[in-house]
């Protein structure tokens, strides 16, 4: 997650300008980001069991009372951290070409899931969802549904451009294309480097009679 920085401004009188204190509910955006960053860091360092509300508060430099005003459990904090990280670090770029779009996105996705603190949060929340039905419903609604739409977006754009035939089952095609990445990240822990993701994309393109891009 990108770390927030703050530079004090000055008013027209030369005195420091008033700080922004967050939204209409009075939440401090700086404190909120500090809490999300602290949760990310602690999970990467200590694992899910080692993350506590007390530890997050200490690392973020805020009171537990402040945290409990905003979140009721550590899973809520980690969920918000994951959602913000995805928005910041996993864009679905549109290069106007399906092959390039898929190669770029799968490489970015694999790196995000396997090589970042955000990926550690994702894996911990998936594990938590296996034995917490209420959290599982929230996780699917807040994260997984949106992630599946994000994973499908390169194919939707390609269909709109005419690179893929109308009527193609994009959900099934997305599962075939992205599934091996998630399987390696969550089950086998095998490498998911660019060579692997490029092979997935090339197999998809061949299956649909499209030409893979030339290697650099």
- Predicted TM-score (pTM) of this structure: 0.81
Residue 151: pLDDT band with limits 50, 70, 90: very high
Structure token digits, residue 197: 């993701």
Note the pLDDT of residue 23.
43
Question: Which tens digits make up the pLDDT trace of 77-114?
Answer: 999 999 999 999 999 999 999 999 999 999 999 999 99
Q: Which residues contact 146 (CB under 8 A, 6 or more apart)?
A: 86
For the chain, report the end-to-end CA distance as a whole number of angstroms. Answer: 30
185 contact partners, CB below 8 Å, separation of at least 6: 110, 113, 114, 119, 123, 192
The answer to whether 147 and 79 have CB atoms below 8 angstroms apart is no
* CA separation for the pair 195, 177 (Å, rounded): 14
DSSP assignment of 39-94, as one string? Answer: HHHHHHHH-GGG--HHHHHHHHT--HHHHHHH-SSHHHHHHHHHHHHHHHH-----
Contacts 24+ apart (CB under 8 A), 63-68: 66/31, 67/35
Q: What is the pLDDT of residues 173-199, one digit of tens each?
A: 999 999 999 999 999 999 999 999 999
Average pLDDT, the chain: 87
């Amino acid at each position: 997650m990108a770390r927030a920085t703050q530079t004090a401004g000055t008013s027209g009188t030369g005195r420091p300008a008033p700080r922004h204190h967050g939204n209409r509910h009075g939440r401090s955006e700086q404190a909120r980001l500090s809490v999300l960053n602290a949760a990310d860091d602690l999970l990467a360092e200590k694992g899910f069991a080692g993350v506590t509300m007390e530890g997050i508060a200490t690392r973020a430099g805020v009171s537990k009372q402040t945290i409990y005003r905003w979140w009721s459990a550590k899973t809520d904090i980690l969920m918000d951290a994951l959602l913000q990280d995805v928005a910041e670090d996993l864009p679905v770029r549109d290069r106007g070409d399906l092959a390039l779009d898929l190669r770029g996105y799968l490489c970015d996705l694999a790196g995000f899931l396997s090589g970042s603190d955000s990926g550690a949060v994702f894996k911990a929340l998936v594990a938590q969802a296996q034995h917490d039905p209420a959290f599982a419903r929230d996780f699917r609604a807040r994260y997984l549904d949106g992630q599946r739409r994000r994973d499908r977006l390169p194919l939707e754009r390609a269909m709109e451009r005419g690179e893929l035939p109308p009527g193609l089952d994009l959900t099934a095609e997305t599962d075939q294309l992205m599934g091996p990445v998630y399987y390696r990240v969550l089950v086998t822990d095998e490498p998911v480097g660019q060579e692997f993701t490029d092979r997935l994309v090339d197999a998809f393109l061949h299956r649909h009679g499209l030409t893979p891009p030339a290697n650099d």
